[in-house]
């Protein structure tokens, strides 16, 4: 199974994020756009995991959820990661100590349970498009996207599976655990 931990969004947030995509689509020479139903915030990508390890990942999820309270996130602004002459276009999250604490705890618990540690700095973002290329200046296109004002209520952590359904990339929630208020 190809698994990752994530924060899922309600329909209001997904709809607001998806509003940026038509602007990108008009200006794209080529791109692979994230489908609205797949929009999420990744906490930690685990990769290919043996079925036998799934219970350990669910245990990690429960352990982390029991140590963190629900919190709010705010969308910030769009950005890009450069990949040669192609880009990943994303929407950012305003700095949140609760988010970084949650992700750091998750990373530590993953490591303590024998999985390989992630050494990249966590950079929270919501991917809108991969392999984005354009005839126009991508930074100018980002300025056309404007701003979004959604607040994201983080009340749970999801363990997601990435798979193909009818030839389309789909993210399916395999386990969702509520954050516990202390």
Confidence tier at 43 by pLDDT (50, 70, 90): very high
- 101: region left, alpha or beta (phi > 0 left; psi from -120 to 50 alpha): alpha
Question: What confidence score (pLDDT) does residue 86 get?
Answer: 86
Domain spans of the chain?
2-178
**What is the mean pLDDT of the segment spanning 146-158?**
91
Residue 92: pLDDT above 90? yes
Average pLDDT over residues 96-103: 97
Architecture per CATH, 2-178 = Alpha-Beta Complex (3.90)
Reported confidence tier of residue 182, pLDDT bands at 50, 70, 90:
low
Alpha helical stretches, state H, 29-68: 54-65
* Of 5, 12, 99, the residue nearest 45 (C-alpha): 5
Residue 91 pLDDT level (bands cut at 50, 70, 90): very high
**pLDDT score of 154 more than 80:** yes
125-150 mean pLDDT: 87
The DSSP call for residue 53 is G
pLDDT digits (tens, 9 = 90+) for 101-128: 999 999 999 999 999 988 889 999 999 9
């Amino acid at each position: 199974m190809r698994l990752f931990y994530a924060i899922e969004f309600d329909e209001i947030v997904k709809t607001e994020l998806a509003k940026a995509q038509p602007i990108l689509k008009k200006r794209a020479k080529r791109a692979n756009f994230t489908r609205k139903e797949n929009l999420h915030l990744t906490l930690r990508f685990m990769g290919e995991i043996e079925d036998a390890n799934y219970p350990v990942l669910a245990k990690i999820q429960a352990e982390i959820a029991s140590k963190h309270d629900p919190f709010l996130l705010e969308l910030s602004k769009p950005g890009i990661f450069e990949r040669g002459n192609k880009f990943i276009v994303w929407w950012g999250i305003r700095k949140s100590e609760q988010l970084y604490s949650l992700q750091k705890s998750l990373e530590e618990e993953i490591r303590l349970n024998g999985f390989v540690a992630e050494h990249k700095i966590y950079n929270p973002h919501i991917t809108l498009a991969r392999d984005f290329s354009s005839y126009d200046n991508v930074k100018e296109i980002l300025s056309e996207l404007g701003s979004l004002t959604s607040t994201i209520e983080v009340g749970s952590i999801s363990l997601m599976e990435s798979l193909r359904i009818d030839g389309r990339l789909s993210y399916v929630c395999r386990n969702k655990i509520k954050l516990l208020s202390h």
